Amino acid sequence: ANARVVSFDGGGDDMDLPLKRLGADRDFAARHGLCGINSYNLGRPVAQLAHYFWSYFRTLDRIGAEIGTAIDVVLPSGALGNMAAAFMARQMGLPLRRLVAGVNANDITHRTIASGEFHRSDHMEKTLSDAINIQVPYNMERVFYYLTGEDASLVASWMAEMDRSARLTLPPAWLKRLQAIFSSARVDDAAMCAATRRALEQHGYLPCPHT
């Protein structure tokens, strides 16, 4: 068979980190023909760039606005692949004003944007939006890369500190730059369920709990 299903214990971090490390081992990846399609592979957010250009122009059509009008984007966020794609589109000149991350109880992204504390939690919270139960979003490294003007050395030093201590606190100047572009909110299961129920009752639409 060409497809196999493998189970694992833990959350998304426990699955993605070893795969990322295997992919970074070029000899191993070449020997086994390894290619990941999760968002630690740059190809994933690059492909998602198209979503933002399409959504931007469709939004302008819907609201009758002129090209160049800035819009905000609100995204459910776990490993931040989709958010990295939005930031890349913004860097390319697409008029996206604010990028807003909605997270569940595993709220490292919210804490990073709100206070600069990119600190791994001691444990993962089980939630009803389990696909975004992420303790350390690996695409935050890409966000930092573009935030710093593609300063690879600086970002490498930050991520080395994160790998060593599981705690990175952004310097105030960099936090200010992050907050100039990004906003965030922590949404618990009760609020998520209420929004899902409201969407169904008012619009006849049953959204995914990650929406």
Beta bridge partner(s), residue 99: 73, 182
Tell me what pLDDT residue 2 has: 72
Detail the DSSP E strand segments found in 67-188. 71-76, 96-103, 117-119, 167-169, 182-186
What's the rounded Cα separation, in Å, for the pair 177 and 53?
Answer: 24
In this model, does residue 130 exceed pLDDT 80?
Answer: yes
With bands split at pLDDT 50, 70 and 90, how would you rate the model's confidence at 6? confident
CA-based diameter of the chain, in Å? Answer: 54
Kindly report, residue by residue over 20-52, the tens digit of the pLDDT: 788 788 899 889 888 777 777 888 899 999 999
Tell me what pLDDT residue 112 has: 98
Tell me what pLDDT residue 11 has: 66
The arithmetic mean of pLDDT across residues 147-171, rounded, is 97
What's the rounded Cα separation, in Å, for the pair 130 and 126?
Answer: 7
What's the rounded Cα separation, in Å, for the pair 174 and 2?
Answer: 46
Tell me what pLDDT residue 155 has: 98
Tell me what pLDDT residue 22 has: 82
Exposure letters 12-25 (e unless 16+ CB within 10 A, then b) = bbeebeeeeeebee
What's the rounded Cα separation, in Å, for the pair 9 and 210?
Answer: 21
The residue written with tokens 């593609």 in the block is 150
Tell me what pLDDT residue 1 has: 60
Mean pLDDT computed over every residue of the chain? 92
In this model, does residue 202 exceed pLDDT 80?
Answer: yes
Tell me what pLDDT residue 3 has: 78
